[in-house]
Amino acid sequence: MGGGGRSVGERQAGVPRGGGPPLWFPTRLPREGPGLRASGTGLRLGERGAPAWPPEQAVAEADEGKLSPTSRLLRPAPGRLPALAHRRRSRPRRSAPRGRRSFVFAKYGGRRSASGRGEERRRDGAISSSVAQPAPEPSGLDALAARVGAGNPGAAIPTARVSLRDQRQPSCSEWRARVCLSVSSPSEHGGIFEYVDGPNAQVMNAEEQAFRFSANIINRNRTLLPNTTLTYDIQRIHFHDSFEATKKACDQLALGVVAIFGPSQGSCTNAVQSICNALEVPHIQLRWKHHPLDNKDTFYVNLYPDYASLSHAILDLVQYLKWRSATVVYDDSTGLIRLQELIMAPSRYNIRLKIRQLPLDTEDTRPLLKEMKRGREFRIIFDCTHTMAVHILKQAMAMGMMTEYYHFIFTTLDLYALDLEQYRYSGVNLTGFRILNVENPHVSAIIDKWSMERLQTAPKPEPGLMAGVMMTDAALLYDAVHIVSVCYQRAPQMTVNSLQCHRHKAWRFGGRFMNFIKEAQWEGLTGRIVFNKTSGLRTDFDLDIISLKEEGLEKVGVWSPSEGLNITEIARRQGPNVTDSLTNRSLVVTTVLEEPFIMFTKSDTVLSGNKRFEGYCIDLLAEVARILGFSYEIRLVEDGKYGAQDEKGQWNGMIRELIDHKADLAVAPLTITHVREKAIDFSKPFMTLGISILYRKANGTNPSIFSFLNPLSPDIWMYILLAYLGVSCVLFVIARFSPYEWYDAHPCNPGSDMVENNFTLLNSFWFGMGALMQQGSELMPKALSTRIIGGIWWFFTLIIISSYTANLAAFLTVERMESPIDSADDLAKQTKIEYGAVKDGATMTFFKKSKISTFEKMWAFMSSKPSVLVKNNEEGIQRALTSDYALLMESTTIEYITQRNCNLTQVGGLIDTKGYGIGTPMGSPYRDKITIAILQLQEEAKLHAMKDKWWRSNGCPEEENKEASALGIQNIGGLFIVLAAGLILSVFVATVEFIYRLRKTAEREQRSFCSAMADEIRLSLTCHRRVKHKPQPPIMVKTDAVINMHTFNDRRLPGKDNMTCNTGLTPVFP
């Protein structure tokens, strides 16, 4: 756009005052046009000097996508445009008064009729009308345009003339709708808008209004463009008429334009871009357009953010949210190009993407939404227009997908303009981007002015949009008008020439002016505007991250190509719109009966609701609800299972209910496993445990009264007895043979020729017994041989007695309860004892997925015999009590069971280590807050107190101290029996000895046996007497004297007749 009046330097240099270049402004393309379908490629024009071809063929090839937009200059065939050439030659041109520039905008509405229509004309902001002149007979390009539009109702384009002051100017018309912006000498500008029937008409009108609004702002701001007045002229054509776009572009260039705004999509864009490149006229685009890497278009800039940068912004947001999977839904094929950085993410990041396309030619997305809901796709990225976003949200609401478990990201920059009032309290996670810099006070003031004007002209907004909101297209258009105007004002002296498409001459100042535009920096409604000097793309900008909350859309972060993502407030619970507090929320809790975690309350009255249940998990849930302030409803899972996958990968139990969102929480002894983490989310564990073995206690046998013999086996006892008999006999024989064991029987009589041997057979046995009992005897071996035997026997008895004593302490102090298994290895090595786990539980899954050989062997046994897999813990406990069966289960449950059933015990240690956690659906916003509540309870030691409450109370009595238990009669009663037997035997022997001696005494004393017995008994029962008369031996009488001799029982002579010694003594008895 022209700046203010020419500078002094310009006037002194004598810059000629040529016609101003038109600025072309595009609007939104529909998904399908009424005529030809949109194409991403367009007209390819040849180099200068190349032979021309008929425009009909050029337009057709451009619409079919066969031609590139970067080559040939369209040259009319000879004789094709006589009327058009005559019309151009016949138009007089008149410059504006010196010293002042004015931009003329004229709006043309309605359609041409046979009787003619009034022509709206605006001069310096005022609208006037004049009668349109009858159109000449079409010929050349005009005739071809008439033929192209013959098949489409309303395809005819109203022709109008742009006036500068009172002088008529050539018309400005372009693809769908055109706004001709011309400027008084020395420059002219043109603008283009599309015309669309249907629901998008309001949007198109908003863009036209934004064009007028921007011009009025510039006209009122005399400091921006001094001595310059902008007027406008608007015309409309239909969508995808690339031939008409080519024709109107040539018309605009003939006027002597300095820049063309739009169109920004389809084959029309490529055709216009080719002409601009050939004639070196800047082309300003306002919509997203794919620019290949080998694109040679140098005369254009695009105010819409670069698609690669937008794709990086989405990828950074997905990485911040730590999404492991997502679904990308695109509207058309260009969406795959816009999102190529995100689509390539799985090869570089740990993200699984599913790509889907919105249905074509229809706004009904319910089948697609139903399929995504059935596939449990909760994180979805929609690349579509804001109009389609309105339908998606409305239909998702009807499908029940607007909940806190879904997270939608929309790539459209117009999400802020949507009316989201009905979704604010739904809990849905809705995130989008916004380029409009609403935080700038200057921008806010302009938007407020726009809103007031918009509400006056269009009080009824487009369905699904808020009234009076400035759309992104309108804001970009506003910035485009301003930045081109400022660049033209600041550009050096330039002359503007009328350019002809059929000639080779380009605008010699086009490259210089294009460089000014690319080097420009501007702070507009859409923030910082900086172009890449090579590509012309807008690569430096700021995007606001916005998310829906109960208060409405709020800014939660900023993204820029240089700084990346900077989140200031978005919640890490996978949804920025769920309130920070769970207060007054009602949650559904699924659980399964499992003592002591979840049990029915024992009561004499009928209970209902949550009062039906009690247990550790019920207390835990109550504490968490107290901290977070939510209410809950407890429901038992229908199949009574925790959750496991079948062969098809489908889950059951509580996991299935969380996946299907039938429940918000799963509060139960639910083990946190790797496989379950892929399906649901878990809180931090509230209890740590491991797998162990539950088995019945070994039946302890009542100890025998002869249990003191247990330290040595019966074989050892027999060997000891044989050794004792053998050693005694060998000692007796060796003593008889050894001459050194015979010694003088009367040491006082050295001359005696009598020797004796003390190791008789009985004495030999007595010697062995004394050594075995560690007591010794008065018999001492004298020969070396017998001493060797005695020493070896003593060593043998020392080891035997020491071993017996040590083992006796272990046997009699600790009562041994022998168990056939002590660990999982023992189970795996035998087949007598069956073992199993709860079917479809975490313990079964552990053995099923384990790669350890022992556990693989155990799983092979369990899978080969399905009967060992029990339905629940109660069934497994009953089998362990009544049969030879070991149940593999969590150690905490074993601890509780063994406290209640004293016949069961835990065998071995922990096989693994894991934890119980509270389950939530994948992406649930409640997980982190529940984790914080659990950590708080752990720090307050309430978790330990709850465990003591449900585990320790009413348990089995404490077991006796096995380390120092007292010995009972059942342990050593046999010793007393042996002692009693010994006493009885000694009494019996003593009686025999007493009777035998009395008989001998009675015979010797010539007394009766009874009198002798009476005297002995009387004497024995006299306790105070310690001395008695020894029996008198017979008296030996010599002839000449009487000698009393004491005779010893062991040396008495056999008879009286033999009592006479060789000494000549004669025995005499008193």
SS3 sequence of 800-819: HHHHHHHHHHHHHHCCCCCC
Crossing angle of helices 616-628 and 942-951, in 10° steps, is 160
Q: What are the residues whose beta carbons fall under 8 Å from the beta carbon of 601, sequence distance 6 or more?
A: 607, 611, 612, 613, 614
631-636 and 126-131 strand pairing: unpaired
Burial string for 552-575 (b: 16+ CB within 10 Å, else e) reads ebbbbbebbbeeebebeebbebbb
Crossing angle of helices 714-737 and 784-813, in 10° steps, is 160
**Per-residue pLDDT, 74:** 32
Tell whether the model's pLDDT for residue 179 goes beyond 60.
no
Residue with tokens 């200031």: 568
User: In terms of C-beta density within 10 A (0-12 exposed, 13-18 middle, 19 or more buried), how is residue 799 classed?
Assistant: exposed
**pLDDT band for position 121 (cuts 50, 70, 90):** very low
Query: For residues 1024 and 269, which has the higher predicted lDDT (pLDDT)?
Result: 269
Distance (Å, whole) CA 161 – CA 174: 13
**Per-residue pLDDT, 957:** 65
Distance (Å, whole) CA 612 – CA 1066: 116
SS3 sequence of 206-255: HHHHHHHHHHHHHHHCCCCCCCEEECEEEEECCCCCHHHHHHHHHHHHHH
- pTM attached to this predicted model: 0.58
Distance (Å, whole) CA 54 – CA 37: 22
Amino acid at the residue 534: T
Tell whether the model's pLDDT for residue 6 goes beyond 80.
no
**Per-residue pLDDT, 919:** 94
Q: What are the residues whose beta carbons fall under 8 Å from the beta carbon of 88, sequence distance 6 or more?
A: 170, 254
Distance (Å, whole) CA 787 – CA 783: 6
Distance (Å, whole) CA 830 – CA 173: 93
- pLDDT tens digits, 371-429: 998 888 889 999 999 999 999 999 999 988 998 888 999 999 999 999 999 998 888 89
Structure tokens at 23: 């600025």
| Residue 540 C-alpha from the chain's centroid | 34
Alpha helix (H) residue ranges in 375-509: 386-398, 441-457, 472-490
**Per-residue pLDDT, 1021:** 65
Structure tokens at 146: 């008439």
Residue with tokens 């901290």: 627
Paired with 614 in beta bridges are 599
Structure tokens at 370: 């139903």
Measure Cα distances from 512 to 202, 281, 297 in Å. Answer: 38, 10, 15
HSE-up of residue 913 (Cα within 13 Å, Cβ side):
1
Distance (Å, whole) CA 504 – CA 100: 32
**Per-residue pLDDT, 382:** 95
User: Residue 407's closest CA among 465, 339, 321?
Assistant: 321
Note whether 886 and 694 are within 8 A (CB).
yes
**Per-residue pLDDT, 793:** 84
Tell whether the model's pLDDT for residue 100 goes beyond 80.
no
**Per-residue pLDDT, 707:** 73
Tell whether the model's pLDDT for residue 199 goes beyond 80.
no
Distance (Å, whole) CA 592 – CA 656: 13
How much is the average pLDDT of 270-281? 85
Tell whether the model's pLDDT for residue 124 goes beyond 60.
no
177-183 and 599-600 strand pairing: unpaired
- pLDDT tens digits, 180-191: 333 333 345 555
Note whether 201 and 269 are within 8 A (CB).
no
Count CB neighbours of 714 within 10 A: 9
Is it true that 581-689+915-967 and 824-912 share their CATH fold? Answer: yes
Tell whether the model's pLDDT for residue 634 goes beyond 90.
yes
- pLDDT tens digits, 956-988: 766 554 444 555 555 555 655 765 676 577 668
Q: What are the residues whose beta carbons fall under 8 Å from the beta carbon of 600, sequence distance 6 or more?
A: 593, 612, 613, 614
Query: For residues 61 and 513, which has the higher predicted lDDT (pLDDT)?
Result: 513
Count how many residues are written for the chain: 1070
DSSP H or E stretch at residue 942: helix 942-951
Distance (Å, whole) CA 373 – CA 482: 46
Structure tokens at 110: 């309605």
Note whether 279 and 506 are within 8 A (CB).
yes
**Per-residue pLDDT, 357:** 92
**pLDDT band for position 747 (cuts 50, 70, 90):** low
**pLDDT band for position 648 (cuts 50, 70, 90):** confident
**pLDDT band for position 80 (cuts 50, 70, 90):** very low
Q: Which of 207-221, 468-482, 558-572 has the highest mean pLDDT?
A: 468-482
DSSP state of 766: H
**Per-residue pLDDT, 1060:** 39
Note whether 707 and 970 are within 8 A (CB).
yes
Tell whether the model's pLDDT for residue 917 goes beyond 90.
yes
SS3 for 271?
helix
**Per-residue pLDDT, 1063:** 44
Measure Cα distances from 83 to 51, 56, 87, 138 in Å. Answer: 22, 17, 6, 8
**Per-residue pLDDT, 940:** 92
**Per-residue pLDDT, 192:** 56
Structure tokens at 837: 């786990």
Distance (Å, whole) CA 666 – CA 592: 9
- pLDDT tens digits, 996-1021: 877 887 887 777 888 878 877 776 66
Please state, for a pLDDT cut of 70, what percent of the chain lies above it. 67
User: Residue 843's closest CA among 879, 877, 812, 869?
Assistant: 869
Note whether 34 and 239 are within 8 A (CB).
yes
> Tell me, which fold does domain 712-796 have in CATH?
Helix Hairpins (1.10.287)
How much is the average pLDDT of 505-524? 86
Q: How far apart are the first and last CA of the chain?
A: 173
**pLDDT band for position 858 (cuts 50, 70, 90):** very high
SS3 for 885?
strand
How much is the average pLDDT of 465-487? 86
Count the helices and strands in the chain (H runs, E runs).
30, 41
Structure tokens at 762: 């009985």
SS3 sequence of 167-192: EEECCCCCCCEEEEEEECCCCEEEEE
**Per-residue pLDDT, 797:** 85
Cis peptide before 866 (omega within 30 of 0): no
CATH 2.60.120.10 fits 824-912, yes or no: no
**pLDDT band for position 367 (cuts 50, 70, 90):** very high
- pLDDT tens digits, 794-824: 888 888 888 888 887 776 655 555 567 888 8
**pLDDT band for position 484 (cuts 50, 70, 90):** confident
Mean predicted lDDT score pLDDT of the chain: 72
Distance (Å, whole) CA 767 – CA 761: 10
Cis peptide before 596 (omega within 30 of 0): yes
Lowest mean pLDDT among 414-423, 529-538, 686-695: 529-538
DSSP state of 643: -
Distance (Å, whole) CA 1037 – CA 1064: 9
**Per-residue pLDDT, 1020:** 63
Note whether 251 and 243 are within 8 A (CB).
no
Tell whether the model's pLDDT for residue 1041 goes beyond 50.
no
Tell whether the model's pLDDT for residue 839 goes beyond 80.
yes
Tell whether the model's pLDDT for residue 755 goes beyond 80.
no
Distance (Å, whole) CA 182 – CA 162: 8
**pLDDT band for position 49 (cuts 50, 70, 90):** very low
The domain limits of the chain are: 8-304, 306-439+543-567, 581-689+915-967, 712-796, 824-912, 969-1021
Query: For residues 37 and 260, which has the higher predicted lDDT (pLDDT)?
Result: 260
Note whether 969 and 719 are within 8 A (CB).
no
**Per-residue pLDDT, 120:** 35
Distance (Å, whole) CA 1035 – CA 339: 142
HSE-up of residue 580 (Cα within 13 Å, Cβ side):
4
Tell whether the model's pLDDT for residue 744 goes beyond 80.
no
SS3 for 59?
helix
Lowest mean pLDDT among 292-301, 384-393, 713-722: 292-301
Distance (Å, whole) CA 239 – CA 155: 9
Distance (Å, whole) CA 627 – CA 202: 51
Paired with 886 in beta bridges are 835
Q: CATH for 306-439+543-567, among 1.10.287.70, 3.40.50.2300, 3.20.20.140, 3.40.50.720?
A: 3.40.50.2300
Q: CATH for 581-689+915-967, among 3.30.70.60, 3.40.190.10, 1.20.120.80, 2.40.30.170?
A: 3.40.190.10
